[in-house]
Amino acid sequence: MRAEKLNLTREYVARLNASPYFIVVAFQGLNVGQLTELRKRLHKAGAEFHVVKNSVFRVAAKEAGIADLGGSLTGMLAVVSGQQDISAAAKTLKNFAAEFEKLKINFGFMGNQRLEKEGVLALADLPSLEVLRGKLLGVLNAPATKLATLLNTPGTQLARVIKAKAEQPA
């Protein structure tokens, strides 16, 4: 392997090892302006978009310990990876693909688990991590709130009865 390809392979291995996920997309037919817009949107979601040569990426994936990609690397491909939430990146890709029909989501990996296109799209439909945390806190907080209300109710009712008796004319 030439030195240039070896350096690229090392760079992709490092990127794959640093990211908890990656999504492979086909971008044939998108112009430079559209790709720049996609990169901006992905950056806001905490992800990066990198065009990759299929043979180099196949070797890098093998070196990173990712299951054999087989014949799934064909055509003009790019890899989306990041350090944050995969659902935010998947949502950005799904919305961009709906807006610009030329972007196609092929597959992805989360950890060592392969996600087909449907799996990536299902992740895109999940609420963000912050929303899920908020819902979980609401569920955990609800019993305590109900208990406090239940414990406070007899005292409140007693105070109302005493006040009503005090306000009655003698």
Domain ranges of the chain: 3-126, 128-170
pLDDT for the residue 170? 65
The string of pLDDT tens digits covering residues 75-115 is: 888 889 888 888 888 999 999 988 888 888 888 888 778 88
Predicted TM-score of the model (pTM): 0.72
Phi, psi of 64 (to 5 degrees): -80, -5
CATH superfamily of 3-126: Ribosomal protein L10, N-terminal RNA-binding domain (3.30.70.1730)
The mean pLDDT value for 33-58 works out to: 88
Give Rg (Cα) of the chain.
26
The string of pLDDT tens digits covering residues 116-136 is: 888 888 888 887 777 878 888
Q: Does the pLDDT of residue 72 top 80, yes or no?
A: no
Q: Does the pLDDT of residue 40 top 90, yes or no?
A: yes
Residues facing 23 on adjacent strands = 80, 108
Whether the Cβ atoms of residue 29 and residue 102 lie closer than 8 Å to each other: yes
Phi, psi of 73 (to 5 degrees): -105, 85
Say whether 67 sits in a helix, a strand or coil.
coil
Write the DSSP symbol of residue 77: E
pLDDT for the residue 54? 82
Q: Give the pLDDT band (50/70/90) at residue 68.
A: low
Q: Give the pLDDT band (50/70/90) at residue 19.
A: confident
Write the DSSP symbol of residue 71: G
Write the DSSP symbol of residue 2: -
